[in-house]
Structure 1
Amino acid sequence: MGITELNETIKKTLFIFLVCFSFPTSAQTYGELSEQALQYIEKDSLKQAELLFQQALAMEPTNSHNALIFSNIGTLQRQMQRLDEAAESYTYALNLIPYSIPILLNRATVYMEQGFSNRAYIDYCQVLDRDKKNMEALLMRAYIYMIRRDYNAARIDYNRLLEVDSLHYGARLGLATLNQREEKFREAVDILEGLIAEYPTETELYVARAEVEQNMNLPDLALTDIDRAILLNPLSAEAFLLRGKINLAGKKKKTAKKDFKKA
């Protein structure tokens, strides 16, 4: 799994829009507060939106929609980088609706941002118990297996993901990385070449192939790919770092030093 794919996954936000529910007349003020909070979200006034949601909770602590309010508060807190509070808010929501797949995924995302991959793993497993083809859960659980070096389990999840979507970018890149770690370099290159043909402007693909070529003791090919990556993204720290390592291995210390500084 590539860095870009992972970042896109963990940065994704999900607000559950309460306006799609019809509130009873007795709860109109509760509904108005919720709608006003969503308007503040659209204006990027996150703290004000959070306060309005909290007022709605205080007004009707037993309202059946409070799980959605807690979930939205969690998403706001996550955007404000208050991760401990966000995880707690999602947990409150799950106490009310324990099997909500969107909320489980949101809490798992927070756990990943906190570095608690074991907790996230449990949430992803719960999602997959209920939706065996959930692509986000399959992708992220495979990534966790990669962290654990449980490559067999990672391969199973990547392959299951490809059964759902045979062209899935993250699953294919994940398999390429997995093949590289298992020293199946030719298989890794084949996957990366296919991805590059489809996504010729993705910097991380050239860096990934360069890493495999370095493993294969093909420094000239690796440097060519790194040059392409830098041309696409002159600020790619990964590309400069890898080029520095290759130049250092080739006893080009001055050139390597320049690359490390740029990285």
Structure 2
Amino acid sequence: MKKITFSFLLAAFFILPAAAQTYNELCERAVAATEQDSLQQAESYIRQALQLEPANPHNALLFSNLGTIQRRQHRYELALESYRMALNIAPMSIPILMNHATLALELGQDDKARADYSQVLEFDPHNREALLMRAYIYMQQRSYKLARQDYDTLLKVEPQSYSGRLGLATLCQRDTKYDEALMVLDGMLADKGGATPYTLHELAVIYVARAGVELDMLKSDLAMLDLEKAIQLDPSQAEAYLMRGRIYLLQKKKAQAKQDFEKAVSLGVPQSEVRDLMRQSK
């Protein structure tokens, strides 16, 4: 997921009248403070500017910047409100809509995020990030037909999209279209990113994804080969250890399973996710 954009406002400074110089200075200081990670000071400058000229149309950018600052401080509800204020001033601003959607999605407000992405796509039907994220939301909501439409549109615009192809494979897997999922993943491994070669991490993720499909098809031997390859490429692949541990459990190899579950936890998998698996490994 892409991080929220911070709008620097510099272009606006040169078109405002000289009488608004104090407003400009406050905006400049807010930008400088943000770049220095002095977020509390930046927020203070922004609020002063908003108070000084509450009707200034560039306040949409100030509110958006304020939302970004609040998000970085984990003040999520306040950040949402700041983005809403920005949208009240500039309801058709794609960057602000994307910021609001991203934060709404992080807060589990999927319907609100989907509405924002849909509005972006009304203005820009081929916006790649909006297509990708709306497809993800549709998939989470089991609206597989709508998700496929967005993935198909994205891949027409960017046929080699790593995230788009991986998302489509995941969608096919969830929709029990395993052969199609394998075809997408096999194609990704065959071209290895084409003109933009995949990183070792990206390749490992594809192998883990293919292993997941193979497990669903009850082809654990093939899945094990792919997991071994993924770990070889990227030893930090927590999901690979978790999945391999489950295969070891099926094979009654409890010691190896326990070792893999412990490794997965050391790489960031929550203890709660493996507690029952660890118990079965004893």
* Alignment match, 1:251: 252
The residue aligned with 1:17 is: 8
Give, in whole Å, the separation in 2 of the partners of 1:67 and 1:104. Answer: 11
1:110 aligns with 2:111: no
Q: Distance in 2 between matches of 1:152 and 1:167?
A: 21
Tell me the equivalent position of 1:239.
240
Superposed displacement of residue 104, structure 1: 0.7
- Tell whether 2:205 aligns with 1:212: no
Counterpart of 2:278? none
Q: Aligned equivalents of 1:228 and 1:48: distance in 2?
A: 49
Cα offset for 1:235?
A: 2.7
Q: Which residue of 1 aligns with 2:163?
A: 170
- In 1, the alpha carbon distance for the partners of 2:258 and 2:161 equals 37
* Match of residue 229 from structure 2: 228
The residue type paired with residue 120 of structure 1 is: A
Percent of aligned pairs with the same amino acid: 53
- Aligned runs of 1:41-120 on 2, under 5 Å? 41-120=34-113
Counterpart AA for 2:78: E
Q: Which amino acid aligns with 1:55?
A: Q
Determine the structure 2 residue equivalent to 1:4: none
Question: 1:53 and 1:225 mapped to 2: Cα distance?
Answer: 52
RMSD: 1.4
One-letter code aligned to 1:14: T
- 1:236 CA drift (Å): 2.2
TM superposition shift of 1:219: 1.5
Which deviates more, 29-38 or 196-205? 196-205
Superposition deviation, residue 200 in structure 1: 5.9
Please, what TM-score do these two structures have when normalized by structure 2?
Answer: 0.86
2: CA distance between counterparts of 1:123 and 1:67?
A: 16
Aligned 8 A contact 2:4 2:102 in 1: no
Report the residue type matching 1:20 in the other structure: A
Measure how far apart 1:30 and its partner are. Answer: 0.6
Structure 2 counterpart of 1:212, which letter? V
Matched to 1:18, the amino acid is L
Q: Work out which of the residue numbers 146, 149, 164 in structure 2 matches 1:156.
A: 149
Please tell me the residue identity of whatever aligns with 2:89: L
Say which SS state the counterpart of residue 84 (structure 1) adopts.
helix
- For residues 88 and 175 of structure 1, do their structure 2 counterparts lie closer, same or farther at Cα, with a shift above 3 Å needed? same
Residue 124 (structure 1) aligns with: 117
AA paired with 2:254?
Answer: K
- State the one-letter code of the partner of 1:113: E
Farther off after superposition, 180-189 or 191-200: 191-200
**Offset, 1:163:** 1.5
Q: CA deviation at 1:127?
A: 1.1
State the 1:255 CA deviation: 1.4
Q: Distance between the aligned counterparts of 2:164 and 2:255, measured in 1?
A: 38
Measure the CA separation in 2 of the matches of 1:95 and 1:183. 43
What secondary structure, in the 3-state scheme, does the structure 2 residue paired with 1:115 have? coil
Alpha-carbon distance, 1:239 to partner: 1.1
Question: Residues 225 and 200 of structure 1: is their aligned pair in 2 closer, same or farther, counting only changes over 3 Å?
Answer: farther
Aligned mate of 1:26, from 19, 25, 31: 19
Q: Kindly state the Cα deviation for residue 96 of structure 1 after the two structures are TM-superposed.
A: 0.8
- Distance of 1:57 and 1:228 partners within structure 2: 55
Q: Give ranges in structure 2 of 5+ residues lacking alignment.
A: 265-282
Could you list the per-position Cα deviations for residues 11-48 of structure 1 after superposition, in whole angstroms to 9, with x for gaps in the alignment? x1211121111221111011011011111222222222
Return the alpha-carbon distance in structure 2 between the equivalents of residues 229 and 24 of structure 1.
Answer: 59
Normalization by structure 1: what TM-score?
Answer: 0.92
Q: Could you tell me which residue of structure 2 aligns to residue 261 of structure 1?
A: 262
Report the Cα distance in structure 1 between the residues aligned to 2:232 and 2:80, rounded to whole angstroms: 40
Secondary structure of the 2:82 match is: helix
Deviation at 1:165, TM superposition (A): 1.1
